[in-house]
Structure 1
């Protein structure tokens, strides 16, 4: 049985969890946070999520985990059969990650602390987001799924990318980013109504108080270490 390591407040953890649930693959969850020394034994960069396979292999990085799951458990495929169409799905996933999720992530610390990000940082993030918006406008089909007629890995991946974009970048920049991509908000709302998304989102909400307590403890510890004499 697969073991999924991480925590439900993480969007990357949740997208892997969604894939496992969609494919009806048995798995166990192991609650572990990013700074845990134990995590380094299963995730070389100390990032979540990570999985331990039934054969004892440790795999990290969400896109790599998704590809492993697809190859090891081909039932209910999430990639098209044709190579070019598979590449398009992966292209959408990569662009969403690089040009929407990662720049939005730079604003999380300010959103969580209730402060505004510096204007220079806001300008940098806007520039990258504009590039991502343009690319997604050209790539996404929403007919009815993000890459065409078939539900693919890109639908699950982008849905959880959007949770970061909408929660942090939109609020910090006072900008409805998802609305800039025609069809994105309607598609996202449709995805959110699935039984799997509702279950995953409920687990996320349940984990959030503990995660926020953990974040505050880490901030307090960092302040203490900075103020300690050498």
Structure 2
């Protein structure tokens, strides 16, 4: 059985977990937080998520894991058979990561510390998010799924990216970023109502108090140095 290493409060962890559940692949979860010595034994840089296959093969990085799962377990495919359509799915995922998720992550330290990000940081984040909004408006179809008629990895990936955009971007910037992409809020709401998404979100919320205690302990340790 596959072992999924990481913690449920992580959106990257939940991308892989969602894919595993959608494909019906048996797996077990191993609670590990980023940077732990145990995680370093299965992830080269100690990042979440990582998986261990039944034969002992370890793999990290969410998009790499998802591609590996698709190739290893082709049942219930999450990528189109057409090469151009498959590339479009990956393009949506990459743009969501670079222009939605990563800039929003710059605001995490301020959210966790209960402070407001400096205006210069907010403006930089706004500019990058703005580029993402333009690109996503051009690429996303929402007919009914993000890349067209087929449910794909992009639906899973962007839905969990949006948890970061909503939690950190919107609160710090007072900006409903998803509303800027025509059809995205309605699609995101529909995604959140699927059985798998509800299950993943419930696990994420249950893990959040312990995760926040972990973050608090890290901050205290850093301040003590």
- TM-score band w.r.t. shorter chain: over 0.9
User: Corresponding residue for 1:140?
Assistant: 140
Note if 1:218 corresponds to 2:218: yes
CA distance in 2 between partners of 1:144 and 1:195 (Å): 17
Note if 1:200 corresponds to 2:205: no
**Unmatched tracts of structure 2, length 5 or more:** none
**Unmatched tracts of structure 1, length 5 or more:** 226-230
CA distance in 2 between partners of 1:83 and 1:173 (Å): 38
User: Corresponding residue for 2:127?
Assistant: 127
Q: Report the alpha carbon displacement of residue 174 of structure 1 after superposing the two structures with TM.
A: 0.5
**Structure 1 segments of 4 or more deviating over 2 A?**
none
Q: Report the alpha carbon displacement of residue 186 of structure 1 after superposing the two structures with TM.
A: 0.1
Greater CA deviation, 51-60 or 208-217?
51-60
User: Corresponding residue for 2:108?
Assistant: 108
Q: TM-score, normalised by structure 1?
A: 0.97
User: What does 1:46-125 align with in structure 2 at a 5 Å threshold?
Assistant: 46-125=46-125
CA distance in 2 between partners of 1:207 and 1:68 (Å): 27
RMSD: 0.5
3-state SS of the aligned residue for 1:30? strand
1:94-140 C-alpha deviation (Å, 9 max, x unpaired): 00000000000000111122110001100111111001110000000
1:10-44 C-alpha deviation (Å, 9 max, x unpaired): 00001100000000000000000002011111111
User: Corresponding residue for 2:34?
Assistant: 34
Q: TM-score, normalised by structure 2?
A: 0.99
CA distance in 2 between partners of 1:126 and 1:47 (Å): 27
